[in-house]
Structure 1
Amino acid sequence: MAEILQPVQVLYCGVCSLPAEYCEFGADFEKCKPWLIRNAPQLYPDLIQESNSKVTDGISDQLQSSSITNGTEPSGSSAPKEPVKRLPGGKTKKKEKQEVIIEKVTRNKRKSITTLKGLDLFGVKLSDASKKLGKKFATGASVVKGPTEKDQIDVQGDIAYDIVEFITDTWPDVPETAIYFIEDGKKVPAV
């Protein structure tokens, strides 16, 4: 006779609502870890070891910070550490460098667009900057979202010949050493 099959019991995560064995592939795995340790320890035995080592590290950090170890001030700097921003998957987010990147993109053989990225990192309001660039070079300039979802200024035409001098004169907070050109896919200093 044929064997009667029983339905599979699936344990769904209480945090991300994925099946528990797929939580590690979700966007909120760090948030899921405490729930998984409590409710599904058999699926992730390495999480239990990891949490135990974090607890012991946390206790030693508390001992050092409260100066219980030897009754003196803890060694090292007294300034609090800046928390590291983590992206999904545990990768760390790099701090943005303050630099202006100028790139010329050619379209339709003879027409070109000059893009400026990073002016906002120096406190420059991009809408005002695009108006000033449009007036100075008598061309169209607009603020658009770039491929990395960051705002950039697109200026019609090839204005790379005079733009470095204009940027440093108009916005003295932007040093000339922080301006780079993209030439043949390589970042080249404008100086």
Structure 2
Amino acid sequence: MAADKPEPVKVLYCGVCGLPAEYCEFGPDFEKCKPWLRDHAPDLYPDLFAGGEGKEVEKTAEKLQGVGISSKGNTGGEASASKQEEVKRLPGGKIKKKERPEVVIEKIVRNKRKCVTVVKGLELFGVKLSDASKKLGKKFATGASVVKGPTDKEQIDVQGDISYDVVEFITDTWPDVPESAIFFIEDGKKVAAA
């Protein structure tokens, strides 16, 4: 007795971005995919294409009013301009607020007794990381180097536990870095140094 084999699923791939058509909105450029989707898969995005371009214009006007700009071209003043600068769009149309620059210090324990102190974010305050690693190494008489972290951003790894004095050294050496912008990672939580 042979069991019936299920039929393979047929997937429609976008001719523009190469993603499955239902994932185009999360792709690199949804605007370029829209004409192709309109011709080949209008059933996937009925709310986008049913009303034509009129609904898209209304949605854009609503978004602009939410940011503080009216559809007539008037701005809401200086406050709305600063809000626009703080807003960043993520893939899929989600909005992310602009992050404030901050220095994050984390102590990582290796082999149960050796540890490395990681300093991230100094470059956001205009500090050259190679110079900073040399100064940290000299001050604490230890090895310090600039390495790429897990997110491919550069960070300074300093051998040993220097977290007890590093905040005072950073604020004294680089006055552009305020103490309120320095944070520690303790037990997986971000804690203010001040």
Fold shared per TM-score above 0.5: yes
Shorter chain as denominator, the TM-score bin is 0.7 to 0.9
Contact map agreement 2:147 2:154 (CA 8 A) in 1: yes
Task: State whether residues 110 and 116 of structure 2, in contact with CA within 8 Å, keep that contact through their aligned partners in structure 1.
Answer: yes
Is 2:129 the partner of 1:126? yes
Q: Where does 1:1-191 land on structure 2 (aligned, <5 Å)?
A: 12-18=13-19, 20-21=21-22, 23-24=24-25, 26-49=27-50, 51-56=53-58, 64-65=72-73, 74=74, 76-77=76-77, 81-82=84-85, 84-191=87-194
Q: Aligned pair count? A: 176
- The structure number with the bigger radius of gyration is 1
Q: Aligned to 2:93, what secondary structure does the other structure show?
A: coil
State the TM-score, normalizing by the size of structure 1.
0.75
Q: Identity percentage over the alignment?
A: 71
User: Would the aligned equivalents of 2:88 and 2:98 in 1 still touch at CA under 8 Å?
Assistant: no
Question: What displacement does 1:83 show?
Answer: 8.6
Q: 1:182 to 1:20 in 2, by over 3 A?
A: closer
Structure 1: 5+ residue stretches without partners: 1-8, 66-73
Separation in 1 of the partners of 2:190 and 2:11? 51
CA distance in 2, matches of 1:92, 1:57: 15
In the TM superposition, residue 170 of structure 1 has moved relative to its aligned partner by 0.6
Going from structure 1 to structure 2, the CA distance change for 1:75 and 1:187 (only over 3 Å counts) comes to closer
RMSD across aligned C-alpha pairs, in angstroms? 3.1
Q: Quick one: distance in 2 between partners of 1:58 and 1:24?
A: 16
Distance 1:75-1:153 versus aligned 2 partners, 3 A rule:
closer
Matches of 2:130 and 2:103, distance apart in 1 = 16
